Amino acid sequence: MTLDRKGLLIPILFLLAGLALLLSLGTWQLERKAWKESLIATLDERLKAAPAELPPPAEWSRLTAAEAEFRRVRVRADFRGDAALVFTSGSALRDDVKAPGYFVLMAGRLPGGEHIVVNRGYAKDRPGALPSGPQEIVGVLRWPDQTSWFVADHDRANDIWYVRDPLKMARVRPWGSVAPFYIEQESPVPPGGVPHPAPLRVNLPNHHLQYAMTWYGLALVLVGVFAAWLLHRRRQQGLADDAQA
């Protein structure tokens, strides 16, 4: 009993291509798993560290999200009453934001005259009187949100923002020149609790091991299907050889 080897060439090529694709996807997910675990560990370390002084303005242009985002800082600023409201339907980093509402961003003047933007916290409805005046706060450095292709950054008619971007906001609000980052305030909580700041929590999903096992499992299934097909082909070839004998 012999098999038509030429007839196996194309199926084997498809098998090898499929295995290469599935195994590469599985390996990529394992690499993503290692990257995600490193990111979670880095964020957890930064969010648990003691707050440091805000970097001086001369260093602001050199700061990057990779090296500085989520670092805790302590800063004293004089806040204005003017605010930008950012719509939110929830937060992956705050357990207390469970319903649609607004993040309240305000500009604060530093003792040296520079201005920073601070997310003072969450409000379920448009807030009334805002916590203005000089105050020492603790928070974490954040970088602007990514712009969406499908949603405008700013609804001018209702004066609602959909991204937290201090530079874009400063072009609309009377804030003047501001830092390229903003601070997510975690304390203190203002009288009345609105807007409500809170510490951020690391809550990033990490399902890459399951994804990797899925891709590797599909590779095994592909081998099994090919083996079953090959066995069936051999049996059919055997029947054909017997009929010719």
With b for 16 or more beta-carbon neighbours within 10 A and e for fewer, the 70-93 pattern comes to bbbbebebebbeebbbbebeebeb
The number of domains in the chain is 2
**Based on the domain organization, do 118 and 162 belong to the same domain?**
yes
Q: What are phi and psi of 207, to 5 degrees?
A: -110, 20
**Based on the domain organization, do 212 and 168 belong to the same domain?**
no
Give the position of tokens 């971007």: 165
**Based on the domain organization, do 90 and 22 belong to the same domain?**
no
Tell me the CB-side half-sphere exposure of residue 101, using CA atoms within 13 A.
Answer: 18
Residues 97, 68 contacting (CB under 8 angstroms): no
Q: pLDDT of the chain along its 245 residues, tens only?
A: 455 666 788 888 999 999 999 999 999 999 999 999 988 898 899 999 999 999 999 999 999 999 999 999 999 999 988 899 999 998 888 888 888 999 999 999 999 999 999 999 999 998 888 888 999 999 999 999 988 888 889 999 999 999 999 999 999 998 999 999 999 999 999 888 889 999 998 888 889 999 999 999 999 999 999 999 889 888 877 666 666 65
**Based on the domain organization, do 172 and 106 belong to the same domain?**
yes
Please check whether residue 192 lies inside any domain of the structure. no
Query: Is-above-0.85 flag for pTM?
Result: no
Please check whether residue 55 lies inside any domain of the structure. no
Domain assignment of residue 239, given as a range = 5-37+206-244
Please check whether residue 102 lies inside any domain of the structure. yes
